[in-house]
């Protein structure tokens, strides 16, 4: 299982618009990904309700993980980790 630990870069955390950006990127990755607060229960990263339910705040650590194997899973996690860490306001075109 591949995973990335990253601090949420959006000041407001994973709420509303940031959660929407993240969920769209997770869905577009084509790889099954989960997200969890550090030490918490993982949820489906492609589910808006699940991501909002985390209540992840700005600066808080989250764990992105995938059971998928191979370079695609690693690349997807790298892109999602960068998106979360940098608090991007738009989906990068490479997602």
Report, as residue numbers or ranges, the catalytic residues.
15
CA 55 to chain centre: 13
Pairwise CA distance, residues 17 & 40, whole Å: 23
Nearest to 65 by CA among 87, 80, 55, 83: 80
């Amino acid at each position: 299982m591949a995973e990335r630990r990253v601090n949420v870069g959006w000041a407001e955390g994973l709420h509303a618009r940031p959660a929407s950006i993240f969920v769209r990127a997770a869905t577009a990755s084509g790889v099954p990904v989960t997200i969890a607060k550090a030490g918490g229960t993982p949820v489906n990263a492609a589910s808006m309700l699940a991501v909002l339910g985390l209540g992840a705040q700005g600066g808080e650590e989250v764990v992105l993980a995938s059971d998928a194997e191979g370079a695609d899973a690693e690349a997807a996690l790298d892109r999602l980790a960068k998106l979360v860490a940098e608090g991007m306001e738009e989906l990068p075109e490479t997602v």
